[in-house]
Structure 1
Amino acid sequence: MEALRLILLYVHLIGFALLLGGSIAQYASGKLRINAAMLWGAVIQLLTGLGLSAPLRGGGDDEPAPAKLVTKLVIALLIFVMVFFSRKRDVVNRGHFLAIVGLTLVNAAVAVFWR
């Protein structure tokens, strides 16, 4: 089961890289829109996050707190909704786009700093 958890974690990090890297590349291009990397990153993050939160291990002290998991799930759902429903627009509002980037960074911060 540990191997499965590590594979899910690896794919989860790839999703993060797609979401953040895609948004930075799009921001640098000057045209704020949702690209395929952002959409796939949000989907991968949500699905692998759900897989990682499943009780794959037998419990113990290294299990994350339920409040942390709920917080990360809510943020991931917000990111997914913001990306999914804006994906067909030619131009996305600057505040909306920066909120996606900000929430992505906040979600990573929750993962790293909340123990």
Structure 2
Amino acid sequence: MILRYAHLIGFALLLGGAIAQFVSAKLRINPAMLWGSIIQVLTGLALAAPLRGGGDDEPAPAKLAVKLVLAILIFIMVFASRKRADVNRGHFIGIIALTLINAAVATFWR
């Protein structure tokens, strides 16, 4: 339960940081986005770890794979452009879109 909470905190940091930058019209990677992406990957891996015991509640391996690929793509996009003074608008919107898609996969894929 604590891991899920930490995972949600990472999502909030990532998306909140991105939206704050987007509305400020200064498209750059802020610390909240960087830490949010790191938290998302680490807690996502921990949540998907085989140590959880199995059962009917376990998400499908395909869902976990899709979420992992999206989380790694987001992290790479954030990390690679973290020191730039200005991030390309399309790149920045891509980070926001992939973050929302990852949340949609988590929410709607049953």
Q: Tell me whether the two structures share a fold, i.e. TM-score over 0.5.
A: yes
Gaps of 5+ in 2: none
Gaps of 5+ in 1: 1-5
Equivalent position of 2:56 in the other structure = 61
Question: In the TM superposition, what is the alpha-carbon distance from 1:58 to its structure 2 partner?
Answer: 2.0
Distance in 2 (CA, whole Å) between partners of 1:92 and 1:79 is 14
Q: Secondary structure at the match of 1:56?
A: helix
Alignment of 1:19-98 (within 5 A): 19-98=14-93
What do you get for the CA RMSD once the two structures are aligned?
Answer: 0.6
Percent identity of equivalent pairs: 75
Distance in 2 (CA, whole Å) between partners of 1:90 and 1:69 is 34
**TM-score, structure 1 as length reference:** 0.94
**TM-score, structure 2 as length reference:** 0.98
Q: Secondary structure at the match of 1:59?
A: coil
Number of equivalences: 110
Alignment of 1:5-16 (within 5 A): 6-16=1-11
Distance in 1 (CA, whole Å) between partners of 2:27 and 2:13 is 16
Distance in 2 (CA, whole Å) between partners of 1:11 and 1:69 is 17
Residues 19-46 of structure 1: CA distance to partner in whole angstroms, max 9, x if unpaired?
0000000011111000000000000000
Distance in 1 (CA, whole Å) between partners of 2:53 and 2:29 is 39
Residues 66-115 of structure 1: CA distance to partner in whole angstroms, max 9, x if unpaired?
00000000000000000001000000000000000000000000000001
Distance in 2 (CA, whole Å) between partners of 1:28 and 1:99 is 15
Q: Which consecutive segments of 4 or more residues in structure 1 shift more than 6 A?
A: none
Distance in 1 (CA, whole Å) between partners of 2:76 and 2:23 is 23
